[in-house]
Amino acid sequence: IRSAEACISEQGPAPQFLVFEGQPGTGKTKHAVAFAKAMGLPLLYVTPDVAQKPGWFNQVHADLEKRRDAVLFFDELDTFTTNSEKWCSQFRQFLDGVLSPSDARVIVLGTTNDAEKIAPDILHRSDRIRFDRPEAVHLRSMWQMYAQHLKDDEVQQLAATSSAGGLTGRDVRQCADFAERQTTISFLNRQGHGGGYAHGMALAGCPGPAADLYQQCIRRRSR
C-alpha cells in the first residue's frame, strides 16, 4: 500500500507492469487487491479460462475501452506463460499495446510463486516486488489479533515457534481457525451437543483455544 501511495504521489509516474513474487501464503494476492484500492482503480481479474481463449487480448482491450483506467490482474502469472510460447508472444504484444503512452492509466499486475518460470524478456519488463515470509515481530502482531485471550508471553512464544518453523500469514490464520474449531467441538461435546444441532447460546462460556493447541498446529505446519 505504501508503494501505491508513492505511485500516485508527485515523485514519479506509476509503474505499469508489476510482478509480486514470493512463496504461497505471503499475501501477494491480498496486496494486489489492496494496491488497486489504494490507487483508486478497479481490479480486472483475467482468469485462466479467458486468457487461454483465442483473441483474449481483444476481449480485455474491449473492457479497458469501457473503463480506461484499471489494474489488470493475472494471478499466478507463471501458470499462463509456462510451456506456451504462443501465449507469451501474445502477452508481449498485449503489453506493448496496453503500456504504450496514453492518457489512460493501466497497470498490469501479476503474481507468482516462482518468477524463474516466467519468460525472462517478460520478467525484465516488470518492476518486481518480493514477498518474504513474515518476521517474528509481524507474526506476533498476527497472533495478538487471533489469540487475544492469551497472555503476552504466550503470544510471544507462538510468534517465536512460528518464525522458527517458517510459517506464513496464511499458516497462522489456518492454525488459528483449526484451534478454534477443535476447541468449540470439544466444548460442545462436553455440554452434550456432540453430533447434534446447537444454537449460538450453546457456545456461551466456550473458552478460547489453549496455547498448547496452537503450538501443536504450528509444529505440524512447520517447514
The number of CA neighbours under 13 Å toward the Cβ of 172 is 28
Pick the more confident residue, 217 or 204.
217
pLDDT at 15: 65
pLDDT band at 103 (very low <50, low <70, confident <90, very high): low
pLDDT tens for each residue of 17-51? 999 999 999 999 999 999 999 888 889 888 777 77
Q: Which amino acid is at 212?
A: D
Phi, psi of 220 (to 5 degrees): -70, -30
Q: Where are the beta strands (DSSP E) in the chain?
A: 17-22, 43-45, 70-74, 106-112, 127-131
H-helix segments, 133-204: 136-146, 152-164, 169-190
- Give the CA angle between residues 129, 107, 82 to the nearest 5°: 65
Task: State the average pLDDT for the chain.
Answer: 84
pLDDT tens for each residue of 130-173? 999 999 999 999 999 999 999 999 999 999 999 999 999 999 99
The percentage of residues in the chain with a pLDDT greater than 70, rounded to a whole number, is 84
- Residue 70 CA to residue 77 CA, distance in Å, equals 18
CB 69 within 8 A of CB 41: yes
Q: What is the pTM of this model?
A: 0.74
